[in-house]
Amino acid sequence: MGVNLDKTHKWKEDIARSVDFYNRWFMEFAPKAFRDTRIKTAKDVEEALKLTDNLRNIKPEVLQAKPTVLPMLRMTTCPPIARDRLIGLSGVSPNLVKCMEVDKCIPPRMKPDDLRKSLEKIGETINKMADPDLFVWLGREKPATEQEIYRAATVVADRLCGAESDPIIRNAQERRQLASIKKWLEKRGYRKLRGGEVETFDKMPPMTFSFRFNVPVNLEDGKKVNIPVDVVIMRKEAKSGDYPLFFEAKSAGDFTNVNKRRKEEGKKVTQLLKTYGKRISFNLFLCGYFDSGYLGYEASDGIDWVWEHRIDDLAEFGL
């Protein structure tokens, strides 16, 4: 028997309660998470402006030394431009821009001359499109005032956070979910593993847990890779050779995208079962907008779950 996967008569009520739970959290805490991130981002933008002499001099040397300023620079233009638009307008390699923005580095194999020319093109594109209503000091001899810089940095930070609002909320939600699990477990005598205390998940002592633990799995081509698991818990009654419970913390602020993400869990549980067999217990910790279609898909893969609004269901997993 499952904990929730086979209780289809409860799904409708749980979905409604989970949506209410998420919405209450969002209304109370999401604005603060967004605001805190915006404050930090505004400070980062001010530092980036200093590096570029307040957009007066976007040198290749600056971009090479600080590739992480590129997303900010895209938000300084009128209109703000997406990553692909910058690639098209400047005529540079997509790999260069991806490395700078995603990997936060310069492509190591790119020839120095090609790199310099490409970075110059990026700088020229940003300069041509810089928002004149925001960066009012461009084109005049008088330097920018502190108030003008602060105002511009705040607007750019708003643009950046607007583009990244979903990840900001998702990260805040995940931190809260993990904190809820930690509190529940510690209240029952479990303790969190110290860093480096065990090398592999199957060596965890009973009544211990860990977050974001890397678990090795076998791929079809014979290679091994590590997949991160959000929560790993070794039961109180675990015996030598027993595997811990695995949980993925999942949250969603609407019904639209959850079915696109469900394949991730299916792939992960398939890899785990092929590597370790049916003794693996892979489950979900859900909060938010997960409809019956999503739940049915996960149940068909043998994936069980705990709703955050009924966190005490964790006890039914033998905890």
172 and 292, same structural domain? Answer: yes
Band (pLDDT 50/70/90 cuts) for residue 260 is: low
Say whether pTM exceeds 0.75: no
What residues make up the domain containing 52?
Answer: 36-164
The pLDDT of residue 166 is 67
313 and 170, same structural domain? Answer: yes
Is the pLDDT assigned to residue 301 strictly greater than 80?
Answer: yes
178 and 116, same structural domain? Answer: no
pLDDT tens-place string over residues 85-123: 999 999 999 999 988 888 888 988 888 899 999 999 999
246 and 227, same structural domain? Answer: yes
The pLDDT of residue 163 is 63
Q: Which residues of 132-161 are buried (b: 16+ CB within 10 A; e: fewer)?
A: eebbebeeeeeebeeebbeebbbbbbbbbb
Q: What is the CATH number of the domain that holds 20?
A: 3.40.1350
The DSSP symbol for 102 reads I
How many CB atoms are closer than 10 A to CB 112? 8
| Listed residues 132, 149, 164: the one ending a domain | 164
179 and 154, same structural domain? Answer: no
| Listed residues 146, 164, 182: the one ending a domain | 164
Contact present, 126 and 58 (Cβ < 8 Å): yes
The rounded distance, in Å, linking the Cα atoms of 298 and 296 is: 5
Contact present, 285 and 176 (Cβ < 8 Å): no
pLDDT tens-place string over residues 41-62: 888 888 888 888 888 888 889 8
pLDDT tens-place string over residues 143-176: 888 888 888 888 888 787 766 666 777 788 888 9
| Listed residues 164, 191, 219: the one ending a domain | 164
